[in-house]
Structure 1
Amino acid sequence: MTKNSMIKNNIIVVAVLALVSFSGNAQEKNWSLKESVDYALENNISIKQTLLDKEIAEQDLKSAKGNFLPTLNGNASQNWNFGSFIDQNGSRISVDSRGNGFSLNTGVTLFNGFRNTNLHKQAELGVQASQIQLDILQNNISLNVVNAYLNILFNKEALKLAEEQIVISQKSLDQIQNLVDAGARARADLLVSKSQLAADNERLVNAQNSVDLSLLSLAQLLQITAEGFDIEEINIDLTNAVLTYKSSGEIISYAVVNRPEIKIAELNIENAELNYQIARGAYYPTLSFGGGASTSYQHLQGQDDVIQIITGIDATTGEPIIVSQKNDFIDQIENNLGYNVGFSLSIPIFNGFKTDANVKRAQISKERIALDLDAQKQTLSANIEQAFADAKASLIQYEASKISLESQELAFQNEQEKYDLGVSTSFELEQVRNRVINAQSSFLNAKYNYVFKTKVLDFYLDKPITE
């Protein structure tokens, strides 16, 4: 192998190793809560679709603005005539011909019952509504990501507890094995310890599965692969856990004014009112102004483009003197050019009660949508009251589970001392330890339940939920 070949191969090996190292580092990246939420908001397919809906609404607004502008249209035609027909000079001739027509027309609506004005206002509401719909979707996705993230943290803590219990159980089994071998303990104690270790191993497997499934759930929510996906560890300190809000009333007072769900309902009422006004606009006449210019060209097949012109009267015969004059395409276009302007007024008189029915439907719809706002406020208030009650209950549960855990741990220490003195059996000791394990699980569940419930309250107050 030549020196150059060796250098080339070394370069390739280094490049491959660098790529593998980069891939490994990419997989080992631990996502923070803020990164997870930001990524979801930037890449979620539903959000991208809603952004496109907003762009459509902006184009609808552009179209509504265009209703106030005059239209301008150009037309061109090519035609052939065979047999008898009326030419452009109004004479009937029996010669085959071909011709062209050109026109330019403009028009503008001066008044149509304010429909264009109301359509423009409606399009502006459409843009606002699409933005609010986007806000609602982003809020819901953020809350879902936070919930999934906290679930992973909960499962990881549960996994740590399960691992710690394995260490304790193994240590206890080794001690009892030595005591049994020395004849200081009955073999039954050894069976109890082995049974406890087996139960702890099963608990460990279940805890690991819960971590894996919760990581998969968040990865799917972020719409990324779950392979190598993990999150940052967060130390949640609830030493001085207190409920920030004294009552649900202060949250409701803010939410029924500022929450996007209420704003969209209010926009729907405005939109319904505009629909009503648009329907009523059909009662009014429509006034338009228009103008145009047109010209034409005609050629008789087999003949030159000429026109017969009377230049005078023959003094001898008294007959008109007619001469042929060139009348080609340019000449005809210039000579046949004409203009027109005018107003058009359309007055609705009777259309089979269609306008009456449309107005009535719009009025009923307006009343129905007004009720939707009240329903939305009631639903929001009920949800907040429930969320506040859940947060209060979760705090009480957290404090109770904390006290219970401390009590169970003291009970276990006492039982361990009795066991060491030989006045308690290993079965009784493991029973107490299982109660400690259950208390730890309840405490963890209460801890993360309280954290999420407080995040929900922050959510209704539009406060950051990633902090």
Structure 2
Amino acid sequence: MKLYIILIGLFFAQLLAAQETTTNPKTWSLQECIDYAIAHNITVKDAALDKDNAAVAYYKSKSSRLPSLFGSANQNFSNGSTIDPITSDYVTDQIHSTNMSFNSSITLFQGNQINNEIAQSKLLLEQSVFQEEVEKNSIALSILEIYLQTLYSKESIVIAQNNVKASENEVQRAKARLDAGTIALSDYTEAQSQAATNKYNVIAAKNNYQQYIIQLKQLLELSPMDEMQVETINENSDLINLELDKIAVYNNALKFLPEIQASNLNIAANEKELEIAKGGFLPTLALNGSIGSGYTSISDNTFSDQFDVNFNQQIGLSLSIPIFNKNQTKAAVKTASINIKKAEIQKQSTEKEIYKKVETAYQNALSAQEQVIASEASKEAAEQSYKLAQKKYELGDLSTTDLVISQNTYTNAQQNYLQAKYLNILYHQLLQFYQGNDIKL
């Protein structure tokens, strides 16, 4: 009985905890989102695994300098005319023999291919480190963009809710004026229609906000059961003045962004591939050695005595000189040369893409800061006009249609200001990021 009571108590405790989590979702700051996404996003994890693979390949290439060592053991049975594998005598009896050996080989020279392969694998490891940084930066910028869009949609909900309150008051005034006979029924129904439209806009704004929350959760790799909110930021008036030089930002981006370092290492790795391919024209020199012993049943000596007597050692050099291999080496050299040119073109394309990103962000930042100033003035003017329209409507000097138009104009002005504000923040943060500065709101 006590066990049932304990289990029921634990069940209700978990239920209350789940309800508390649902009613009080965690509020995430931008930095928390970025840090969590970098630690948990599957794209970043995949890049980290690529880096681990590159580290394994580097370890494998370094190990190619070491000698190989193999052990072998054979047990043979034969009947009839045969050659004894131990004594090499011709026998016709039934025999059984045992043979054990250890063989080792080390490459002394292979056209310097081993050294070049080690150098290439090290370059590829360094490239994978920068490629992991590329993915981390991509996730951070995606988080920044979605986070700001989420904040924009969150403030849009407030605007829509304020419009509902205002339109409900206007419906009450319209009803009073209708009862007093000062307006037509069409004016009253228009006020009701506007109130219904504003309620619909609240629903749409909340849905839009939840869609951005879903995108954030996807980037953070959160489960559908996890609830989250975003932390509201304070307006930053310092973003109005853009005092950055576009060319300076671009040059800093070339020094900072890991895409460039990854491209440089890609060229270097392909250059090493060319040296490896050219090594195929040179001879290969290897040192080989082995030790072994054996036992045969046709000998009168004991097993241990035979292993002592038959103990043998062997050491030798082997030289392999390439003469003709169906032009495989020539083809490998040509392919490596082509890949170097392709890597150089890829670097140029990367630099071009970076310049496009910097110039786009710079021009958008200039435009956004001007839009902030203009939209703020438009919002203030529309707000004063709407307040004046409300007073006129209360006095019966304005039609419902004109009041609705004034409210919609004010709403559009508010939305335009919000959009300009968050775009201004976004593009300024991008420019700061391209210079190697942290993303901070």
TM-score (norm 1): 0.89
Is 1:278 the counterpart of 2:276? The answer is yes
Query: What is the root-mean-square deviation of aligned Cα atoms in Å?
Result: 1.9
Spell out the pairing of 1:105-116 with structure 2 (5 A cutoff).
105-116=103-114
Match of 1:77 in 2: 74
Q: Matched residue pairs, number?
A: 438
Contact 2:109–2:286 under 8 Å retained in 1 = yes
Match of 1:99 in 2: 97
Distance 1:144 1:179 in 2: 52
Q: What is the Cα deviation at residue 99 of structure 1? A: 0.5
Q: What is the Cα deviation at residue 189 of structure 1? A: 3.0
Distance 2:260 2:282 in 1: 34
Q: Determine which of 347, 352, 372 is the counterpart of 1:378.
A: 352
Q: What is the Cα deviation at residue 33 of structure 1? A: 2.1
Q: What is the Cα deviation at residue 116 of structure 1? A: 0.5
Most deviating of 428-437 and 329-338: 428-437
Quick one: which amino acid aligns to residue 287 of structure 2?
A: F
Spell out the pairing of 1:177-326 with structure 2 (5 A cutoff).
177-227=175-225, 229-300=227-298, 305-306=299-300
Quick one: which amino acid aligns to residue 384 of structure 2?
A: L
Q: What is the Cα deviation at residue 232 of structure 1? A: 3.2
Contact 2:64–2:114 under 8 Å retained in 1 = yes
Contact 1:30–1:229 under 8 Å retained in 2 = no
Distance 2:315 2:44 in 1: 50
Q: What is the Cα deviation at residue 211 of structure 1? A: 1.4
Is 1:46 the counterpart of 2:48? The answer is no
Contact 1:110–1:289 under 8 Å retained in 2 = yes
Structure 1 residues 208 and 73: CA distance shift in structure 2, 3 A: same
Is 1:171 the counterpart of 2:169? The answer is yes
Structure 1 residues 427 and 95: CA distance shift in structure 2, 3 A: same
Which has a greater percent of helix? Answer: 2
Q: What is the Cα deviation at residue 227 of structure 1? A: 4.0
Quick one: which amino acid aligns to residue 403 of structure 2?
A: L
Match of 2:329 in 1: 355
Quick one: which amino acid aligns to residue 121 of structure 1?
A: A
Match of 1:24 in 2: 19
Distance 2:281 2:111 in 1: 7
Contact 1:296–1:332 under 8 Å retained in 2 = yes
After superposition, the C-alpha distances for 1:371-398 in whole angstroms (9 at most, x for unaligned) are 2212211221122111111111111122
Most deviating of 419-428 and 362-371: 419-428
> What is the identity percentage for the equivalent residue pairs of Structure 1 and Structure 2?
29
Structure 1 residues 424 and 270: CA distance shift in structure 2, 3 A: same
Structure 1 residues 245 and 283: CA distance shift in structure 2, 3 A: farther
Q: Secondary structure at the match of 1:77?
A: strand
TM-score (norm 2): 0.94
Distance 1:440 1:77 in 2: 88
Distance 1:411 1:372 in 2: 56
Distance 2:361 2:227 in 1: 31
Distance 1:209 1:168 in 2: 22
Structure 1 residues 226 and 454: CA distance shift in structure 2, 3 A: farther
Q: What is the Cα deviation at residue 330 of structure 1? A: 0.6
After superposition, the C-alpha distances for 1:68-109 in whole angstroms (9 at most, x for unaligned) are 111111111111222112333343221111111111111211
Q: What is the Cα deviation at residue 414 of structure 1? A: 2.9
Distance 2:88 2:155 in 1: 98
Q: Secondary structure at the match of 2:69?
A: strand
Task: Give 1 or 2 for the bigger CA radius of gyration.
Answer: 1
Match of 1:405 in 2: 379
Distance 2:93 2:30 in 1: 86
Is 1:143 the counterpart of 2:141? The answer is yes
Contact 2:239–2:425 under 8 Å retained in 1 = no
Q: Secondary structure at the match of 1:68?
A: coil
Q: Determine which of 155, 158, 169 is the counterpart of 1:157.
A: 155
Q: Determine which of 367, 381, 392 is the counterpart of 1:418.
A: 392
Distance 1:363 1:11 in 2: 74
After superposition, the C-alpha distances for 1:333-379 in whole angstroms (9 at most, x for unaligned) are 11000111122222222223222222122122212212221221122
Q: Which consecutive unaligned segments of at least 5 residues does structure 1 have?
A: 307-326
Contact 2:124–2:266 under 8 Å retained in 1 = no
Q: Secondary structure at the match of 1:236?
A: coil
Q: Determine which of 438, 441, 444 is the counterpart of 2:412.
A: 438
Distance 2:389 2:172 in 1: 19
